Amino acid sequence: MGNTNKTAGGWGFLALELDGVARAADGDTAGGATALAAAVLAAESAGFHAVTFKDSPAEGRLNALQRAAFAGPLTRSLVLIPEVDTAYTEPFHASTQLASLDYVSGGRAGWIATAEDDPAAAAAVGRSYVAGDGLAQEAAASIEVSRRLWDSWEDGAVIRDVASGRYLDAGKLHYVDFDGPGYSVKGPSIIPRPLQGQLPVLVPASLVGAGLVEPSGVDAVLVSAPTAELLAEEIRDVRERLGGGSPAVVVELDVVLDARGQGAAQRLGDESAIGKPGSGGTDGARRARFAGSAAELADLLTEVLEVADGVRLHPARFDVDFEELSRLVLPELRRRGVLAPVPQDGTFRDLLGLERPASRYAATAVGN
């Protein structure tokens, strides 16, 4: 099968989902900050390219963007990708928060744009429940608002020109005048253009397509399939559906490894050891689950990274599975030359092989 990967200088990247780390539990009033710091440092030194942070409502789960921001100053090369909902959040806030994450991480931020499909999430903020294509439309609108706001300060808008007494050049600041489904956003942003210009935006494949989130507005799609065997076919279908200049593909994969003297099959039979099976994909789609040895996982990932640009691993038990991943799986994948090099002092865009784009407003007339 032809390698259509976009990732720079290698086959693909590995992102590690950190859910379960730093869950605030009774009596743990530190909110797991120590565990979070340890986990991101361990992920970075194990050679993971990125970590992701789930955000849909769950007991003890702290706000994802804040966990990512906390990790920013602690890490050097690790890409930090929080989920931020688009259906029930304020697009203006989301845009500012994500741009801020890019600043505190030195350009290592990404965004998994989710659309919460949950009446409870609607009720929490007193909005009507959005379902079906409405969710994709909310996601499309919110992403468009962020992208415009990120561009609304052109590069170099902060001029610090002592002679004219101007800190800013208003000619490089732009109203975004977004008119969307039921709301509008004026702009400009309240924070300068993110370090990366535009943060890479990852979107569940189910939300992407004609009339949904346009593929051109997406840097990577998250692809799920019910089983690991079906992943290659699903990736092919998604690429076909999204057409030629389609976004990068990142595969969602649950992982249960033989560990600590227990076989994966054994661990699977013991729910307390692995958490609930099955669903819980970013888009509610079923996520494939791998259960087996480290060597078998290395084989699967080698196959998958031949057709995908990256994999997001969801360890069943962070501490248990992370140990096996870092000790056995990543070294083997590196030995096989399957992994993209970790960009040193690079950005998430560098990892994805994306240029830093000019602001969409850069060519327009002054003051517009």
Partner 1 sequence: MTQHSRAKYQPSGKLQFGIFFQGVNSGTIWKAAESGSQTDFESFRRIAQTAERGLFAAFFLGEGLRLREHLGRPHELDVAGRPDAQAMLAALAAVTSNIGLVATQNTTYNDPADLAHRLSSLDLLSGGRAAWNIVTTDNAWTGANFRRGGYLDHADRYTHAEAFVETAKRIWDSHDPATGQWQRVLHEGQHYTVDVTPRLPRSAQYRPVLFQAGDSPEGRNFAARQADVIFSAHPKLDDALDFRRDIVERTLDAGRGANDVKIMPASEFILAATPEEARDKKAWVRSLQIGPQQAIAYLEQFWGRELGEYDPDGPLPEIDPVVEETSETRGSGFHGAKARQLADQWRAEAKEKGLSIRQFVSAKTSRVDATFNGSYAEVADRLVEHARTGAVDGFNISPWLIPTGLDDIVNHLVPALQERGVYPTEYAGSTLRENLGLATPERASASAPTESAPLEARV
Q: How many residues does the chain have?
A: 368
CB of 92 to partner 1, least distance (A): 4
SS3 of residue 345 by DSSP: coil
Q: Which residue has the tokens 């692809």?
A: 223
Q: Using CB under 8 A, which of the segments 86-94, 216-224, 256-264, 274-282 binds partner 1? A: 86-94
Q: Is residue 181 reached through a cis peptide bond, with omega within 30 degrees of 0 on the bond before it?
A: no
β-pairing, 178-179 vs 184-185, is antiparallel
Token pair, residue 276, equals 């609930």
Q: What DSSP designation does 327 have?
A: I
Q: Does 362 bind partner 1 (CB under 8 A)?
A: no
Interacting residues with partner 1 between 157 and 186 (CB under 8 A): 158, 160, 162, 164-170, 173, 182-186
CB of 55 to partner 1, least distance (A): 10
Alpha carbon distance 150, 114 (integer Å)? 19
Q: Does 89 bind partner 1 (CB under 8 A)?
A: yes
Interacting residues with partner 1 between 60 and 79 (CB under 8 A): 60-63, 65-67, 69-74
Contacting residue, 5, 7, 86, 97, with partner 1 by CB under 8 A = 97
The answer to whether 245 touches 166, Cβ cutoff 8 Å, is no
Interacting residues with partner 1 between 105 and 124 (CB under 8 A): 106, 120, 123-124
Q: Give alpha helix (H) positions in 308-364.
A: 318-324, 330-335, 348-352
CB of 146 to partner 1, least distance (A): 12
Contacting residue, 4, 77, 100, 326, with partner 1 by CB under 8 A = 100
Binding track, positions 4-43, relative to partner 1; x by CB under 8 A: ------------------x-xxxxxxxxxx--xx------
Q: Which is nearer to partner 1, 168 or 230 (CB)?
A: 168
The answer to whether 293 touches 255, Cβ cutoff 8 Å, is no
Q: Which is nearer to partner 1, 167 or 243 (CB)?
A: 167
Q: Which is nearer to partner 1, 123 or 362 (CB)?
A: 123
The answer to whether 255 touches 324, Cβ cutoff 8 Å, is no
Alpha carbon distance 180, 184 (integer Å)? 6
Interacting residues with partner 1 between 226 and 255 (CB under 8 A): none
Alpha carbon distance 68, 254 (integer Å)? 21
Q: Which is nearer to partner 1, 167 or 327 (CB)?
A: 167
Q: Which is nearer to partner 1, 103 or 268 (CB)?
A: 103
Alpha carbon distance 27, 63 (integer Å)? 19
Q: What are 14's strand-pairing partners?
A: 311
Q: Which is nearer to partner 1, 48 or 92 (CB)?
A: 92
Q: Does 104 bind partner 1 (CB under 8 A)?
A: yes
Q: Which is nearer to partner 1, 161 or 229 (CB)?
A: 161
